[in-house]
Chain A
Amino acid sequence: MTSFNARRVRNDTPLFTRVINERPITYLDSAASSVPPRAVIEAMSRHYERRHANVHRGVYQTANESTHDYEHAREAIARFINAPGGANEIVFTKNATESFNLLAKSWRAANLQAGDVVLISEMEHHANIVPWFQLRDALGIEVRFIPVNDDFRLELSSIDELMKGVKLVSVTAMSNVLGTINPLKELAAVAHRHGALIAVDAAQSVGHSATNVAELDVDFFIFSAHKMLGPTGLGIFWTRQAILADMPPFLGGGGMIADVSTAGYVPAKGPTRFEAGTPPIAEAAGLGAAVLYLEGLGMDDVHEYERFLTEDALTRLEAEFDGRIRVIGPSNTFERGGVISLDVQGVHAHDVAQVLDQFGVCVRPGHHCAKPLMKRFNLSATARASYGPYSLVSDTDVLLEALSDAVKLFG
C-alpha cells in the first residue's frame, strides 16, 4: 500500500458530503466523469465573481486577468502532458468528442483521400469511431479495426499486415470498458515505421497516470477536462506544432481569424485558429486549478494508489462471488486501470445499477458508448465501477455489499 492520502483528497471534494438513500454517496463512476475538488470549483467561481470578462479582446484589468487564466490553463496542460512545443500546441474544444471531430475534419482535409485507411480498434469509444465512419461515407476512406483478443488486449500479432495503406492509427490509451492500458509507445513506433501518424484517445488515462507525449512519440493526444478533476464543457486537442500549422481551420467565426474583409478572411495562426467564438473561460480556469491539484498529488502516486484499489477489488470480487460475477477486462493490474466492468450472471446491468443505487452506489450500466466492443464479447451491457484519487477501500466494501444484495434479490 502506498502512503497516498486519498482521505485528504476526499475531504477536498465537496460532492462526498452528499447522502443518497440515507447513505453517504459511494461514487464509482469516475470513468464517466471525475469529481472536482473545491479548488477547481473555487477557480470557476472566482472567474464569475471577480473577473467575468471575455478573453483576448479587452484592455481593462479584469479582461487581462481572464485572458491570463485562460492562457495559463493552456500552459498548465502543455506542462502536464509534456508537450514539446509548449502551450502553442494546445487547442481547447468543447469535449474530447469535438477534439476527434477536429482531427477528422481538419487534419484529414490535407492528408486523407479516397482509399486511404484509418486504423482504429475494437475497443474504441464511439467518439473515435463515428467521425471516421462519417469520413468513410463522405470521402471513401477505409476504416479498419485492430481486433481485441480473448485476454481483452489488442491483438497485434498481424499489425504489419493491418498497417497496409494506413495513414492514421487512432487508438485509446485505456479502454473505458475493459480498463486495458494499450502499448502506445509500441504502436507509435509501428505507425511511424509505416509512414503513418498516431492519434490517442487519452480521456481515461490522463487523470489517472503520468503523461509524456514527447516520450511516447505520438502525434495527436485527445482528452477532456472533466475526466481529470476539471469541469465539463472543455476538451483538449494536442498535436505537434508542425502538424498544427498545416491544419486548416475547423469552425469559423470570431476569435479564429487574423483578418476579415468583404473579400474574405485570413485565419489566425496557432491554436486560436481552432477556437471560434467565446471559449469556455471559467472552465479553463477550473482546468488550470485541476492540473495544479493533480500535480500536487503526483500522477505516479495516483496511478499506484488506483492500481492498489483495483487489485483489492478484483481479488475480493473473485473470492466473494466465485464466478457469479465476471470481470470483463484483464486481471493483471499492471496492464489495466481502475475501470471495472462487471457481468453479473443472470442479472441485467440496469438491474444491478438500480439495486446499487439503493446503497448510494453510483455505477454506470450500459454499453458505455463502445458497442463494437460489447458485441465482440457478446454482451449487451455491463455495470461499470471506476475509481478516482478520492476513492477508498471502503467504497469497494459498499460496492460488494450492494452486489451481494443484487445477487440475492435475483436468486
Chain B
Amino acid sequence: MSNLEDLYREVILDHYRSPRNRGELATPPAIRVEGFNPLCGDEVVVYLLVDGDRLLDIKLTGHGCSISQSSSSLMSAAVKGKPLDQVRETIKKFKQLMTVHESSLETTSKPEVIDARTLGELAALQGVVKFPVRIKCAVLAWNTLSQALDEVSA
C-alpha cells in the first residue's frame, strides 16, 4: 500500500478536511473564474483580488475529490499575498512537478527532481504523478488560476 500512502499524504488529507481560503470575494473588485473537469465532474471556482503586481487575496469554492480540493487549498496558501511574477513561477514549477516523465513509468526512478524546498507543502502532491489519471485532478485549480491571471493581465 506504499503507493497509496504516497498519494494520500497527511498534508493532503489535512487540506482536504480543512481547506484553506475557502469562500468567495466580492466581484468586482475581485475576478471570478471557473474550472471544470467534465470527465469526473470536479469543479473549482477561483476568486482573485489583484492590486498592481501583487495577488492580494484568493478564495476558492467548488467540489471534487481529495486531490483536486487539497491541491486548490495548497495552491491558495502558496500564492496568497505574493507578487504576480512569483505566482506565475510557482504555477510553472507545480505543473513541472505534475509532468509524467516517460522514464518514471518504465523504471522505478523518480522523475526529474524539483527542489522540494522551493515548493514547501506543495511537494506533498508529488505522489500524484504515480497515478497518471489523477494528475488532471491536481492541476485543475492551477489551470484555473493561470486562466484568471491571464484575464487580469488582459
Q: Choose among B41, B43, B137 the residue that contacts A366 (Cβ–Cβ < 8 A).
A: B41
Decide yes or no: A348 and B64 within 8 Å by CB, A366-B40, A366-B41 being known contacts.
yes
Task: Find the A residue at minimum CB distance from B39.
Answer: A366
Q: Which residues of B contact A (CB under 8 A)?
A: 1, 3-4, 7-8, 13, 16-17, 39-43, 63-67, 69, 131, 134, 137
Query: CA A381 – CA B39 in complex, angstroms?
Result: 11
Chain B residues with CB under 8 Å of A409's CB are 4, 8, 13
Cβ B131 vs Cβ A354 within 8 A: yes
A348 in contact with B1 given A409-B8, A411-B13 (CB within 8 Å):
no
Q: Tally A residues with Cβ within 8 Å of B.
A: 18
List B contacts of A365 (CB < 8 A).
Answer: 40
Q: How far is the CB of B41 from chain A (nearest CB, A)?
A: 5
CB-defined contacts of B63 to chain A, threshold 8 Å = 380
Count A/B pairs, Cβ under 8 Å: 47
Q: Could you tell me if A348 and B4 are in contact, using CB atoms closer than 8 angstroms?
A: no
Bound form: Cα–Cα A358–B39 in Å: 22
If over half of A's interface residues share one DSSP class (helix, strand or loop), that class is named, otherwise mixed; here it is: helix
- Bound CA–CA A348/B37 (angstroms): 15
Besides A348-B69, A354-B134, 17 other A-B contacts (C-beta < 8 A): A348-B64, A348-B65, A350-B64, A350-B65, A350-B137, A351-B8, A351-B67, A355-B4, A358-B1, A358-B3, A365-B40, A366-B39, A366-B40, A366-B41, A367-B41, A410-B16, A411-B13
Cα distance A380–B131 in the bound complex, in angstroms: 22
A89 to B7, CA, bound (A): 52
Q: Which 4 A-B pairs have the closest CB atoms?
A: A348-B65, A350-B65, A380-B41, A351-B66
Query: Inside 8 A of B134's CB, which chain A residues have their CB?
Result: 350, 354
Take A350-B137, A354-B131, A409-B8 as given contacts and tell me if A380 and B1 are in contact as well, using a CB distance cutoff of 8 Å.
no
CA distance A355 to B5 in the complex (A): 10
Task: List A365-380 residues whose CB lies under 8 Å from chain B.
Answer: 365-367, 371, 374, 380
**Cα separation A354 to B13 with both chains bound (whole Å):** 14
